Structure 1
Amino acid sequence: MTRNPAKTATCKQLLDTYHAGLRATRVNKLTFAGVGYRDVYNITAPFQYNGEEVLMGRVEERDSEFSQVFFFTCKNEVWSPRVHTHTYNLQDPFWTRIRGELIVGGVEVITAAHDPQKIVSWVTQFYRGYHIDSLTHFSSGPGTMKDIRLIELADGRVGVFTRPQGERGGRGQIGFTIIPSLEELNEQTFIHAEVLHDQFVPEEWGGANEAHLLRGGHVGVLGHIACFDPSGDKHYYAMVFSLNPETFETTPIRIIATRSDFPAGPGKRKELKDVIFSGGLQRLGSGRAVLSVGVSDAEAYQIEIPDPFDEYEC
């Protein structure tokens, strides 16, 4: 991958730009019931299913990484598990629609054969179907790859975002490729996706969390950019950029939300106090959008912000 460091902004540079701007926001903490004393965080954006609003969330004990993904519905501003709906032993859920089918997924943790409490790897799993109650597994990502996301492109093909690490991706880059249909979604697709250029400096990393088809056929990407500080604490910020799926050219990354946009609250661990997870974006029209996020790996919020994809559709 050829890089041009002069084009790649650091987290600090992006934060300086973000804090220099003015914007109107409205923040709402989501309330959950029916999951005991477990936390619900890293939620998706809500979607419509059979006339009801549904979202997916990661449900987990505060001192554990073993989670379940629930489908939730809302009544009187309280989100509760959808009745008679299967849960999945996954982390960090996501969804999209491709050719009319609902596609959902999340990250399955893999434990050591001799120690079921020791996580040694993880795999992104994909399910598909026309009904929430009858989704079937159809593909798995390669070992240790999170942040794989799909989108139906304007011509009906399927765009695939990946997150290679190691030799090809360092701490985590974003890859992209196009396949004719979901039937072509396999491990080779994920491994051989082209790494997008000039997005993260080597010491930092990021990933795609959700993709939106924009007017004109470009793809608006909601994701995260992250870094360590000298103390080893993590800092995650919500970001966006636009991709031309024909040329793979991208616009510069922009931060759209930070932990400081939300009230102080609990965190899973000290080093996660400045972490937000971009779960999904609802575009409302009239220049506004609602971003759904997990905060400090312990809480779920929605924040209304200026639509970050509007500028890519001018």
Structure 2
Amino acid sequence: MREKQPVIETCKQLLDKFHAAPRETKVEKLVFSGVGNRDVYNITAPFRYDGEEVIVGRVEERNSEFSQVFFFTCTNQVWKPRVHTHTYNLQDPCITFIKGELIFGGVEIITSADNPDKIVSWVTQFYRGLHIDSLCHFSSGPGTMKDIRLIELQSGQIGIFTRPQGDRGGRGQIGFTIIPSLEELNEQTFLDAEILQDQFVPEEWGGASEAHLLKNGHVGVLGHIACFDSERNKHYYSMVFSINPETCEKTPMKIIAVRDDFPRGPGKRPDLEDVIFSGGLIRLGNGRAILSVGVSDAEAYRIEIPDPFIEYE
């Protein structure tokens, strides 16, 4: 008897399910100052440090891909660069905490030796430390791999989500592996991660943005699923799924937010108009959650939604 092939749902199918289940939301645009006339987008979820709320964001000229990453704090509902804090020449920051240490990552752009304006590759860089002001570089991802995310598992081991492309991953798949400790983290670790099967059709892609340890020891994954349309415009949607780290058994993906959830506004380019990039999620404990996103590669928003991870616990 022929084994039944799993059904991989496309962006369109997931969108149909999303639109069929309306939910109550509350949207807030984040206001920034102190960065000149630059855009701030692709922000992390806020975290508490030294008695104040901190977020990390990508800061960039509208017509450039060369960005910096700033740590921001909030005063009177305006986010400003944290005083005396290092900035990094990176894109798309991410943060997590592992055994009490802040783990910070971002994507470094590699340019051509002959043309400093030409981007030829990129590398995810990771820093660690007990204090924002004394983070030390400790690991680099392989060339052209974005969306690498780390999480401390219930066992104390470290779960790693990767995003291979090309021969192994096509336009972008999600990989997963486990290592005993951060000291075991190296480039080969990222390359050896097993690709999670049956998540994306070949024409589409996705990646992990943040991992959450759930009450049952499973991991809730916040990320994106994306596709092109016939005119090569990009469409990015926020999605979640969960995975049992011991067996790699996972739930189907579901979309939790789309560009139309937010007001119309500027975009970096016309082909990025329908793009939101999941940055992080705070579970409120009352059945609700706050999702932080970059919108159209030009703005930063928060949206309150039903907690998407409850059903996985």
Settle same-fold status: TM greater than 0.5.
yes
Residues 63 and 4 of structure 1, relative CA distance in 2, 3 Å threshold: farther
Q: Report the Cα distance in structure 2 between the residues aligned to 1:22 and 1:276, rounded to whole angstroms.
A: 19
Aligned length: 311
- Correspondences of 1:249-288 after superposition (within 5 Å): 249-288=249-288
Q: Which residue of 2 aligns with 1:53?
A: 53
Deviation at 1:7, TM superposition (A): 2.0
What residue number does 2:110 align with? 110
Percentage identity across aligned positions? 77
Aligned partner of 2:241 in structure 1 is 241
Question: Residue 190 of structure 1: SS of its match in structure 2?
Answer: helix
What's the CA shift string for 1:6-35, capped at 9, x where partnerless?
A: 421000000000000021000000000000
> Distance between the aligned counterparts of 2:26 and 2:175, measured in 1?
33
1:1-314 paired onto structure 2 within 5 Å: 6-313=6-313
| Post-superposition CA distance 1:61-96 (Å, at most 9, x none) | 000000000000001000000000000000000000
Assess if the C-alpha contact under 8 Å between 1:240 and 1:254 holds in 2: yes
Q: What is the alpha-carbon distance in structure 1 between the residues aligned to residue 137 and residue 178 of structure 2?
A: 21
The letter of the residue matching 1:22 is P
SS at match of 1:133: helix
Output the CA distance in 1 between the equivalents of 2:248 and 2:130. 31
Output the amino acid matched with 1:283: R
Q: Distance in 2 between matches of 1:293 and 1:22?
A: 20
In 2: Cα distance, 1:248 partner to 1:170 partner: 21
Task: Give the Å deviation of 1:4.
Answer: 7.4
| Structure 1 residues 5 and 76, CA gap change in structure 2 (3 angstroms) | farther
SS of 2:79's partner is: strand
Q: Distance in 2 between matches of 1:312 and 1:142?
A: 31
**What SS does the aligned partner of 1:21 have?**
coil
Q: Deviations over 1:227-261 (max 9, x none)?
A: 00000000000000000000001100000000000
Paired with 1:192 and 1:309, the residues of 2 have a C-alpha distance of 28
In the alignment, the residues of structure 1 paired with residue 168 and residue 7 of structure 2 have an alpha-carbon distance, to the nearest angstrom, of 19
Provide the secondary structure at the position in 2 that maps to 1:107. strand
TM-score by length of 2: 0.98
Structure 2: segments with no counterpart, 5+ residues: none
Could you tell me how far apart the structure 1 residues matched to 2:43 and 2:4 are?
Answer: 35
Query: How far apart in 2 are the matches of 1:28 and 1:252?
Result: 29
State the one-letter code of the partner of 2:254.
R
Matched residue type, 1:85: T
Shift of 1:167: 1.2
Partner Cα separation in structure 1 for residue 167 and residue 82 of structure 2: 42
* CA deviations over 1:93-149 (Å, ceiling 9, x no partner): 000000000000100000000111110000000000000000000000000000000
Cα 1:224–1:170 change in 2 (3 A) is same
Q: Shift of residue 5 of structure 1?
A: 5.8
TM, length-normalised to structure 1: 0.98
Equivalent residues of 1:157, 1:178 under 8 A apart: yes
> CA–CA distance in 2 between the matches of 1:154 and 1:51?
27
CA RMSD of aligned residues (A): 0.9
Q: For residues 194 and 4 of structure 1, do their structure 2 counterparts lie closer, same or farther at Cα, with a shift above 3 Å needed?
A: farther
> Which amino acid in 1 is paired with 2:97?
R
**Equivalent pair of 1:106/1:126 in contact (CA under 8 Å):** yes
Q: Which amino acid aligns with 2:204?
A: E
Whole-angstrom CA distance in 1 between matches of 2:217 and 2:193: 20
Does structure 2 conserve the Cα–Cα contact (< 8 Å) formed by 1:34 and 1:80? yes
